[in-house]
Structures are given as C-alpha cells and as structure tokens.
Structure 1
Amino acid sequence: MNTLVVILLFGSLLLLSFLLIANPVNVNKKANFWFGLVLFFWSSFWLEEILVLIRLDIQSNLFWLPIRFFQFLTPVVFYYSIAYYANPNFRYGRKDFIHFLFPIILLIVLMVNQFYSDNANLSLVLIALVIIQAFYFIVLSYIKIQKHKQRIRLFSSNTFQIDLKWLELIILAIFTLVAFIGIYNLLFVEADLNLFANIVSLSIVYFIAYNSLKQKEIFLLDENERNLIISSEEQTETNKRKLITDDELKSQKEHLIKLMDDQKPYLDSELSLAQLAELMNFTPHQLSYLINAAFEESFFWFVNRYRVQRVKELLLDKENEHLTILGIAFESGFNSKTSFNTTFKKISGQTPSEFKKNGAAL
C-alpha cells in the first residue's frame, strides 16, 4: 500500500509541477513558475524510494548532496512563490538573499554529519534545523497572504478565488504535516516515513492540484496603477497628496452615489476598481482616492455595502419569499456563499438568517 502511495505522490508532483511551469491557462505566470519549482523540489523527497523500486542503487554523494540542497531550498522557494502571488512585480532586495543562508547552513551540517559517519547528535541537530527553517518560512508565507488579502480589497469587490485561501489552507496543512514528521523523526531517527504521513502528503498534493488548476488571474490592474493605489493607501492622512480638491470631492461623491443608485454596477459580481473608474471617467488611482477620502473605506467595503443593502431590501420584500437567501445574494452581486455570509455579518452585525427572521417579526 505504501509503495502505491509513494508512486502516486512522486508522479503527481512531477506532473503538477510541469503543468504549473508550462502554465497553459496563462495566469499568475511568475508565481506559478516558482510554485511549480516548489513541487518539483518536493518530489525529490520520495526520489530515493522510487530509485529503490526500480532497483537503482545510487550511493554517491555527488548525486545526493545536490538533491539534499534542493530539498533544503523548498521552503525558501515556497515563500518566494507566495511573494509573487501577492505581488507579480516582486523584486529581490539584498535582505532577501539572507533566506538562502538557511539551506547552505543545512547542507554544511549534512556534510559534516556524513564526515562523522552519521553522528546521532548531529542528525538530531539537522532535523531540528530543518523543522525550524520550515516553520520560519511557513509563518512568513502566512503573513504575506494576510497582507495580500488586505491589498486586493483596494482593487476588487469580490475576493473569492483571488484571496489565496487555498494556499493559506495548504500552509496550515503543511504546518501540521511538518510538526508530525518532525516529532516522528525526532522519536524514530532511523525509521522511514510511515504510510500515514504519505497519505496526508498525497491529500495535500491533490488539494493543490484542484485549486491551482482552476485559479484566476489575481491582479488585472497594470503595475503602475496598482503601485500608485497601494502607496497612497499606505500614506498617513497628513501626508496623503490630494488628487481631488475639497469642492470637487463633494460633487464627485454625489456623482458616484448617483451612479451606484441608478446604474447599480455592484450587481456585477466581477466589478473591479478599473471598471467602476471607467464609468466615472476616472483613473483607478483617482477613484481609489475618492472612495477613501469621501467614504473612509476601501473599494471592497464600499461596493459590498451596496450589495448588503440590496440583499436586505430583497429579503424584506414578500414577493421574494420563494427565493433562497443564497439566491438573493447571487442576485445582489455576491459570488460565494462564504464571502457573502462573512461580509453580510461584518456590515450588518447579524447573519442573513437572523436579519430575515428579525425583519419578518416586524
């Protein structure tokens, strides 16, 4: 049974790695390339077992030391793939090269350990360092995704499928798996990874395959507009440069409210900052400034307040009693049950069901 799982793991990782690097759907190019490398490096953890299965015994350090180095690189490359998902124009700084010291140190410890004929204490040190490195980059990746979630609300009215929730779940799964494998290896230094760990790993791989092959392009704005919006959002109120005069701000606020009431662009579940800016004859940067300055909120919350209000009106209308709450949510511009429930409660302070029940009692 374990042999079958190992074969499925190795083959699935190689195939998925090829698909992400080739990127036939042509989305999130840099991020998918790096994530494809992650899966390719990850597959090497089962290479030794595959070589045994095909009766190819390779003992040479010239073969295995580079393989081990790529394995040590896996958490680093995973972090940089997350960085590219969060920002396709991510560029390396000098401080980023410090991260590559981790796999180099691990490789040195491994070489010293082999020189001393696999000293038990050094083996434990190596395992501990691998676990520490894995946890370090898992935490960094998780933080990067949380920042990404905040930033995409500046551009998109619906974050479903572009909020990297699938990668967040993968990080949590890998965190659990690393903790399990780390404890297992510390307790049983000479033992091979057991069937349970391989099955968990295979489940993670299939989860990755399902989500990565249906992913959407995250950033539709060009680099300049995106950087302008992010930089202006990060400025303090006192230092924020005015793009619109106070008098014009008031008139454009009224114009925007009228547009939202009359044309109801929020009913389009894919409404983006760029699309609404085009309706206003603004640049995305100008519209972002208008919403932030006039309404004191991000584009995401601005649009979704209109959607929540629309849901409330439809829920209270007795002519819509034949419709489900979710059906009304989709009619109002939402495209995900989870995001609808979360957003509705955040804005209204109660769940859709509670609102409908309380409204019916009035």
Structure 2
Amino acid sequence: MNFVTFNFHDVILLMTAILCCLFALLLIATNPPKNTSNYFLAAFLVAHACIPLHELILWGAEFKLHVREHVPGIYFIGGFAYYLDAVLLYFYVKSLVFRDFHLRPKDFLHLIPLGLFALFMIVAFYRYPASIRLDWINTEAFVYSGGYITAEFLSKTLRVVYCAAAFMLIFKYKDILKTTHSNIEKVDILWLKILVVGFVVITLMHEVLALAKVIGFIGGYDFQHPDPKGNIIEFIGLSGNYALFFLVCILVFTSMRYFSNFEAVRQKDSKEPPKKSTQEKLLNPEYAEKIDGIMRTQQTYLNPELTLDMLAETLAIPAKDLSMIINRHFNLNFYEFINGYRIEEAKKRLLEPANKDKTITDIYLEVGFNSKSVFNTFFKKLVGKTPSEYRQQPADVATTT
C-alpha cells in the first residue's frame, strides 16, 4: 500500500474513539452488582466514541475518500451521538448523586431532540435516491447546507445545556449531602468537577465552531474553498479534538479510579404527600422532645460516620419521616442538627478538669468532627467564641454561655 489513510490529526480522533470504547468495556467487565452509574458512564463513553469517528468520516484527510468510495452508507450515522452523549453524562452524574436514581418514563423525553434530528435527516437527506445522496456527500453540499448547519448548531447548544445542568447538580451536591450526612468533609468530588468542566469546555469549543459555521453561512462564506492562510474553523475543530483526546486519557481514567468512593443520597420526591403518622409527628412537639432525649442519652452523634439512615434505624422511624421532623421542629438540616449536639458536647469537655491535658484537636475528634475548620466554624457560629477563647474564660462565665 503506497497511500496514506490517516494523518496525525486523524490518528488523534481514532485513538480517542478506541480509548473511549476500551474504558467502556473495562467498566462493564468490572462493574459491581447493581451499580447503575457504571452503565451510564459506559454508555456515555460509547456514545462519545461515535463522535470522533463521525468527525473522521466527514473530515479525515484521506480516510473520508475511502469511506465515500466503499461505505458511503455510514455517513452521518455517528452524528446521532451528539444528541446522546451529554444526556448520558447528565444521567451518570445524577446516578452518582442519588443512589435510588433509575430511568423513569419521563426521562425518555430527553430523547425528543434525537427523534427530531432523525426526522430531519429522513426528510432532508435519506428520502432522496442513493445517487443524489452520494453526490451530496462527494461535493460536501449537504454538510454545508443551511439545514444541516442549523441542526448541528442546535445539537451542540443542547450539549452545552446538559453539561451545565450536570455541573449545577455537582455544585449543589454538598448541600444535598447535608440532609443525610453529619460529616461531609471527607467527600472529594474534585475529579468529577474536573471531568464535567472539561466536557463543558469541549462542548463550548464545539458550540463556537458550530456558531462560526452559522455566521459564515449567513455571510456567504465559501466553506468548500476556505482561505488556507486563515481557516479559523479548522483551527477550532482541531483544538477541540486534541482537548478531547487529553481529557479522555486523563480524566476518565481518574474517574474510574475514584468514583467508587462517592457518597450518594436518596432522591427526594416532593410530590408524594406525608403519611398520616408522619403528619401527626410533625404537629406533635412531644415527639421532637423524645428524639432530643434519645440523642442526649444515647449520644449517637459521637459517631463521626453517622448518617440519616443510621439514626433513623436507631429511632425505628423511616429516614424520610425523620428528615421531615428535623426540618419542621428543629428548623435545621441533618448536618446542622447533629453538629449542634457535637458542639454542646465539646463545650462540656473543654471545661472538664479531667480534659485539661487534652488538645482541642483531641476533643473535636472525640465528639464526632473530622475537620478542624468545620469544628471552629460551627463553634464560633453557635457559641460566639472560638474554642480557644471559650476554654480560657473563667468556668462560671462559661456555664452561662
């Protein structure tokens, strides 16, 4: 063979697709039982693998010519992945955040844009005879038509929206976690933020490229004979391809390494009304006093790993009901509720003569905190003084605080 099928830019696209597929296979092969998030990530990777292949078929230096000659029927098939990958990324993040997340009938509404694109392709391309379609492929008339450029712009806009929604869910994650966990400092989701932000950046680059095509089409730019000295569209496209390759190599591998430690919470369903028994407890302050008495006698808050589910089991009450009672009677989320008891216990231990040789670090660890900064923040907020200031004041003054 004395011809070149791939140049270096094309190899990057091909390697990106191969890496995505390999990562997806590895995820499925090593997937723990009932781990839904693995399947969403694998599906996202497979869908995303179709995108560099699609770009390779459309714009590969020599490869596109071989496809046109031998298998023109696969043209545009990979373009459908633009309507799937960001949706699957959003579902992946949602399945990590909410342990009880599963696909519901309403979730399939996210496939409406995919169906509309399929309808557009049937009407604008596939309904024509094969000879006409082949001519449009060879002359690149269809990919530079107003309809296809518009559809491409809308698809890439949609990807940005879904990536932004996934990032917003991550941004709110720690606040959501406070409803079920008493300590959230050990939760490290930096890798997930980088993963999603990385894809936000890439989708934005693709969006800029699609917008440039729209502006060029409106302005009468000749896409089929661009200026070789300043083809900004080609530069943006290649930059996006390289950025995607490095992101897949580094960040997806990192996510597979760390996502097993992700702390998930239950997904709330605000439409479901409280049970009658729960409503009675919500209106009965004596029940709140009972919970407060159990907390003080059993001191369950001393467990640094205490969660809403664990406390609910101790109190023999459904976790959802307990969360509602805490919110209603104490006007706190679970995180604030538990750490309030820990601060009270810390105040006692700071003043006990038997603890005079103990450091403040010893005491905050004993009462259930695992972060000095969080302990100091809560202490200052609830007591009005730092732990050191509180410990140094006279005992008779401290008891009135």
Structures share a fold, TM > 0.5? yes
**Distance of 1:64 and 1:332 partners within structure 2:** 64
Contact 2:209 2:236 in 1 (8 A): no
Q: In structure 1, the residue corresponding to 2:261 is in which secondary structure?
A: coil
Q: 2:305 aligns with which of 263, 270, 295?
A: 270
Mapping for residues 1-362 of structure 1, pairs under 5 Å: 6=13, 9-26=16-33, 29-47=35-53, 57-59=66-68, 60-85=71-96, 86=98, 88-94=100-106, 96-109=107-120, 112=124, 115=136, 116-119=141-144, 121-145=146-170, 149-159=174-184, 166-184=191-209, 186-187=211-212, 188-190=232-234, 193-195=237-239, 197-199=241-243, 201-203=245-247, 205-214=249-258, 215-216=260-261, 218-219=263-264, 230=268, 241-243=279-281, 245-260=284-299, 265-307=300-342, 319-320=357-358, 332-334=367-369, 341=373, 345=377, 348-349=380-381, 355=386
User: What are the superposed Cα offsets for residues 200-232 of structure 1, whole Å, 9 maximum, x if unpaired?
Assistant: 652365223323433236458xxxxx57xx458
RMSD (CA atoms): 4.4
Contact 2:198 2:247 in 1 (8 A): no
Q: Residue 46 of structure 1 aligns to which amino acid in structure 2?
A: P
Larger Rg: 2
**Distance of 2:346 and 2:244 partners within structure 1:** 41
**Distance of 1:163 and 1:38 partners within structure 2:** 22
User: What are the superposed Cα offsets for residues 102-140 of structure 1, whole Å, 9 maximum, x if unpaired?
Assistant: 223344556737754333544542342122111222233
Q: Residue 247 of structure 1 aligns to which amino acid in structure 2?
A: E
**Distance of 1:247 and 1:158 partners within structure 2:** 28
Contact 1:266 1:333 in 2 (8 A): yes
Q: Which runs of 5+ in 2 are unaligned?
A: 1-7, 126-132, 213-231, 394-401
How far residue 40 of structure 1 moved from its aligned partner, in angstroms, is 1.3
TM-score (norm 1): 0.71
Contact 1:314 1:320 in 2 (8 A): no
Q: Which runs of 5+ in 1 are unaligned?
A: 221-225
**Distance of 2:391 and 2:311 partners within structure 1:** 34
Q: In structure 2, the residue corresponding to 1:243 is in which secondary structure?
A: helix
Q: Residue 252 of structure 1 aligns to which amino acid in structure 2?
A: I
In structure 2, do the counterparts of structure 1 residues 208 and 117 end up closer, same or farther at CA, with 3 Å as the change threshold?
Answer: closer
**Distance of 1:269 and 1:54 partners within structure 2:** 61
Contact 2:152 2:210 in 1 (8 A): yes
**Distance of 1:120 and 1:313 partners within structure 2:** 75
How far residue 90 of structure 1 moved from its aligned partner, in angstroms, is 3.1
**Distance of 1:346 and 1:123 partners within structure 2:** 56
**Distance of 2:348 and 2:248 partners within structure 1:** 42
How many residue pairs get aligned? The number is 339
Q: Residue 295 of structure 1 aligns to which amino acid in structure 2?
A: F
**Distance of 1:42 and 1:331 partners within structure 2:** 48
**Distance of 1:196 and 1:308 partners within structure 2:** 50
